Amino acid sequence: MKLAIAFIASFFTFASAHARTADEVSPLLIGQSVPKVDVSDESGTKQFLPSLLKGKHSVIVFYRGGWCPYCNTHLQELAEAESAFLELGYQIIAISPDSPEMLSSIEKDGELNYKLYSDSGLTATEAFGIDFNLSKATLLKYRGFGINLEKNSGGKNKDRLPVPAVFIVTPNNKIAFSYVNPDYKARVPGNLLLAAAKAIKEAN
């Protein structure tokens, strides 16, 4: 089962460390450590990511932002499954380029129990190897839809996004599972993620 998870999780591995497109990202591999980077909570306070994991099994979700309907659907699906992850001893952490102010407005809605964190400069996103540059044509299209990445990030990001990704991390901060798909519409099915979480907990 562990080998099967590794195979499924690793099928998106690419050559470039700083990708020009979503297809060229080079995510961290299974067995590598969680990067020593900071993210910010909804109040703007910096939090050291390895410390947030608190020696627990964790599910780390990278999403594009609160403006993305596919991301919001995925976050809601995780919220509905959160109790099952909690029973297994997992915590869920979600990270996006949205500014702390943007996160605060989402958390006030009270739809999510797990924590959202800001990576507005994409430092953590880049460290995980899943950041990429948007083309000018895509940025113009986004503007036409009223999506302003620079405004959403508090002025820290103009043209980059994370490829949506999920990493399962063991208590010793090692990556045990990853799902990274350049197609932003494709998200890891909840039953697969839960099955992977169970197998990893049994092995670690």
Lowest pLDDT segment from 87-91, 108-112, 162-166, 197-201: 108-112
- Indicate if the pLDDT at residue 14 is higher than 60: no
pTM for the full model?
0.89
Length in residues, the chain: 204
Which one, of 154, 159, 150, 165, lies nearest residue 103 by Cα? 154
Spatial contact of 125 and 162, defined as CB atoms under 8 Å apart: yes
pLDDT, residue 111, reads 72
> Residue 104's pLDDT is what?
78
Average pLDDT taken over every residue of the chain: 89
Q: 5 pLDDT exceeds 90?
A: no
Q: Mind listing the pLDDT tens digit for each residue in 33-83?
A: 999 999 999 999 999 999 999 889 999 999 999 999 999 999 999 999 999
Percent pLDDT > 70 in the chain is 89
pLDDT score for 56: 94
Residues paired with 157 in a beta bridge:
none
pLDDT tens, residue by residue, 86-133: 999 999 999 999 999 999 776 555 578 899 999 999 999 999 999 999
How confident is the model at residue 112, as a pLDDT? Answer: 84
Q: Please tell me the predicted confidence (pLDDT) of residue 20.
A: 81
Mark 23-38 as b/e (b = at least 16 C-beta within 10 Å): ebbbbbebeeebeebb
Amino acid residing at 160 = R
Amino acid found at 88? L
Q: Which residues contact 116 (CB under 8 A, 6 or more apart)?
A: 42, 94, 95, 96, 98, 103, 106, 107
Which residue segments constitute the domains of the chain, with CATH numbers given?
2-203 (3.40.30.10)
Element (H, E) at 139: helix 136-144
Helices 190-203 & 2-9 angle (0-180, nearest 10): 130
| C-alpha distance from residue 172 to each of 18, 54, 94, 121 (Å) | 27, 9, 19, 26
The predicted structure's pLDDT at residue 4: 42
